[in-house]
Structure 1
């Protein structure tokens, strides 16, 4: 392969104090690994099948067939992150002077990336030719470069790029993917002007930017608050015949929202919806909804909320919180509570920000008593926080306080405690016993409705109450002579 006629030295874009050595990268000297990431693994017994392959390959009359099978075995071990077996097989292949396909090395590089071991990928890349007689191409180069940059080692990635591209004996010429990775690293380091230079120089090097190149550069420009330049890039890519993706629009909308330019944002969103096939992500929806409410454009915010549902984009806690906060700012705490109830029914637990927004709204509407009276939602937030931080004893104390104040637990309350019990051995039995005790305590306080809710949770999780528990709850249900309705409800729960 001819040497690249347009070598590009990326390190020259960096300040002199930042330029790294162009010697082969030994990342292992500067990357501290956690004990769990250490590559020192105990000697393992070679799987019998691998041993048989080595022994049988010469008898097949072709080393190629045996080498191909062994490459597949190595790729299988790499996919399982079984690096001890990979190293074992590579050692034997090297000692028997066999060859390994480049595709196999790429599979190993990807595995090192998943295991957060970029230094191993770089080291193996430099050994490919001399130890395994495998010619390196831009494919294996890009694979290693991607592993290093994905790990957040942007300076290292640029150093590795320079060493390979400028090397006289590798003859690797970067392609579009190589430039995309370099532009990403430069943008992450804040060298956006350098990234623009690389971008503008791509056509001279026979590489045309693609949608990913434009998105990466737009994102870098937006983070530097150079929104107008990013918008111009959108026009440029369309004039070049490159269709923007949903990611392209999301990057621009997010940047415009942060600048508070909602007029241009709404035009951009309308343009997306008119063209069809584009989806906003949850983060952009939350930023848009929050921004529209802050500008007093509540109707547009709620309209966007409806469009979100129509486009099958499931709201998360950030979107719900933006709605609750916005409605409370508009003096509509009742509507905010409806959103809160919908949020809980969809299995999305409110956080402290959601609840503080609601309290602000209630105080603003003159409903101070309602604001300071904790309800099941408030308790659930506090209970979840305590359980997440392993403070279960205080969570139980708070549950007792909740019961004493006449607040019945709901499905979320039960789930919070069941989740905290999952880590214990015999979690299912522990959970059943906890919920049964809760039923008994509620019945002793004549809170039959609350006890029934807990029983419903038990049935939905296939935790059948004991006979003694049924013996306590059935007479209480039968007192108002609602026997038929109660039996029907129990059967429905058991059968679904």
Structure 2
């Protein structure tokens, strides 16, 4: 019996169900295997589904092939949201050139660009920290659409990431001149950048203005930012007053707020009050999450109570999958206290706990081993770090190499230089430290071999 052919509608259903992007691609390209296939009438939904699956899987070359195929379709005009999704994928992957190219290509698909695609592009460039390109896109935005509140919120966020208080105020003032009404996101971002730059009086003034002059109620994000600013300034009592204000105004307290309060209590030496905050969380229906547990772990590490920190980690493992921050905090605490064996043991145990070390993990352990003069133990950590594509801090490498040179540990120095060369991490400063040793120490392995190592791409 002949197999029933897949219709365009059925293809969309099958694509939606297929979890494997490679199998989904094969299905899309060849829905009805036939020696003499007729052109398949793809639907816009099918294109949308396969592009989304490939983009999420970072299969960008394959995704672009599908996009090119869509360009020749004549039965429909692709919607702007498809291109917005593609731009977002490129932004998350830190590929600003591809994001810009996609935006430029939109008219070739007979699709009009609006504020939606411009804002998506600005947000993608923000993810890539391409601030100058953001400015260029914004300046030329008038060719496509007028900026809206979302546009200015993205620009405000850029100022926040650069700790540019003046730039944030400039964005806010320009909004008002254009008659664009700020919303809760605008005020929240402005207050955040003010708090991060210790301008608490201005931040509280903005909080009052947003309610009185703009009829915008402060939300959880605003309160969380203010609390973090107060915590940073050691104004713990004011932070708790803000928490009570939230309760009075029936504003939902989330884990960010409670985690900030927990950190404040530890910093103020009031760890005995932490239990009360956790109980209040549960009474208010706010379940502790990874952020809360990490605040507890950090607090106990500051207290040098590593047994308690591990106890929290064990509790976390029962409820959630601990994120890498949980381990980084404990490893950092161990290194700070010179407990390098314990730090290395936890590092080696992370894969068993189903949590992969990240660049912070490697840097923290490597720096700790170097500070503790455990240079032999630091060398394989450096080699593994470079192998995984992570870069150590420049100052850490310089200190490491300098210690090896001062101690005359030439064999280990050679090993380290080879590791650095593999990652193309040898620069002119390394030359300045190592070359004098080549000239002065006859015991060094063949100097020409060392120079060759330094020149490796």
Q: TM-score, normalised by structure 2?
A: 0.57
Per-residue deviation, 1:76: 4.7
Equivalent residue number for residue 438 of structure 1: none
Among residues 29, 53, 59, which one is paired with 1:47 in the alignment? 29
> Aligned to 1:102, which of 59, 67, 80?
80
How far 1:324 moved relative to its partner?
A: 6.6
Q: What residue in structure 1 maps to residue 345 of structure 2?
A: 383
Structure 1 unaligned residues grouped into runs of 5+: 1-42, 58-64, 329-335, 361-373, 391-496
Match of 2:263 among 278, 287, 291: 287
Q: How far off is 1:251 after superposition?
A: 0.9
Indicate conservation of the 8 Å contact 2:210/2:218, yes or no.
yes
Cα deviation for residue 321 of structure 1 reads 4.2
Partner of 2:170: 197
Number of equivalences: 308
State which of 343, 356, 359 in structure 1 corresponds to 2:312: 343
TM-superposed CA distance for 1:339, in Å, is 4.2
Residues 262 and 44 of structure 1, relative CA distance in 2, 3 Å threshold: same
| Pairing of 1:62-461 with structure 2 (within 5 A) | 66=43, 70-71=47-48, 73-95=50-72, 99-129=77-107, 131-165=108-142, 170-239=143-212, 240-274=214-248, 275-281=250-256, 283-293=259-269, 297=270, 300-301=273-274, 303-308=276-281, 310=283, 311-314=286-289, 315-323=292-300, 325=302, 339=308, 342-343=311-312, 345-346=314-315, 347=317, 351=330, 383-387=345-349
Larger displacement relative to structure 2 (152-161 or 66-75): 66-75
Shift of 1:136: 0.6
CA distance in structure 2 between the partners assigned to 1:88 and 1:324 by the alignment:
51
Match runs of 1:472-483 below 5 Å: none
State the alpha-carbon separation in 1 of the partners of residues 265 and 312 from structure 2: 16
Please tell me whether the aligned partners of residues 323 and 339 of structure 1 are also in contact (alpha carbons under 8 angstroms): yes
Alpha-carbon distance in structure 1 between the residues aligned to 2:51 and 2:297: 48
Unaligned runs of 5+ in 2: 1-24, 318-325, 353-457
Could you tell which deviates more after superposition, 100-109 or 81-90?
A: 81-90
Q: Distance in 1 between matches of 2:71 and 2:350?
A: 51
Q: CA RMSD in A?
A: 3.9
- CA drift of 1:140 comes to 1.0
Contact 1:254 1:287 in 2 (8 A): no
**Secondary structure, in 3 states, of the residue corresponding to 2:31?**
helix
Please name the residue that 1:485 is paired with.
none
CA distance in structure 2 between the aligned counterparts of 1:340 and 1:191, rounded to whole angstroms: 36
Say which one has the larger Rg. Answer: 1
Deviation string 1:137-167 (CA, Å, 9 cap, x unpaired) is: 11111111111102222222222221223xx
Provide closer, same or farther for how the CA distance between residues 204 and 387 of structure 1 changes in structure 2, counting only shifts above 3 A: same
Cα distance change of structure 1 residues 56 and 244 upon mapping to structure 2, 3 Å threshold: same
Question: What are the Cα deviations for residues 449-491 of structure 1, in whole angstroms up to 9, with x where unaligned?
Answer: xxxxxxxxxxxxxxxxxxxxxxxxxxxxxxxxxxxxxxxxxxx
- Structure 2: how far apart are the matches of 1:94 and 1:234? 49
Distance 1:379 1:67, change over 3 A: closer
Q: Give TM-score scaled by structure 1 length.
A: 0.53
Q: Distance in 1 between matches of 2:206 and 2:33?
A: 57
Query: Do the aligned partners of residues 187 and 337 (structure 1) sit closer, same or farther apart at CA in structure 2, a change above 3 Å counting?
Result: closer
1:301 deviates by 5.0
SS at match of 1:206: coil
Shift in Å at residue 50 of structure 1?
9.4
Structure 2 vs 1, CA of residues 79 and 49 (structure 1 numbering), >3 Å: closer, same or farther?
farther
CA contact (8 A) 1:250 1:280 kept: no
Work out whether residues 183 and 217 of structure 1, in 8 Å CA contact, stay in contact via their aligned partners in 2. yes
State the Cα distance separating 1:204 from its structure 2 match: 3.4
State the alpha-carbon separation in 2 of the partners of residues 187 and 160 from structure 1: 19
Aligned counterparts of 1:105 and 1:91: Cα–Cα separation in 2: 12
Which stretches of structure 1, 4 residues or more, deviate above 6 A after TM superposition? 43-46, 50-54
The answer to whether the Cα contact below 8 Å between 2:106 and 2:112 also exists between their aligned partners in 1 is: yes
Shift in CA distance, 276/149, structure 1 to aligned 2, threshold 3 Å: closer
Q: Residue 268 of structure 1: CA displacement? A: 0.8
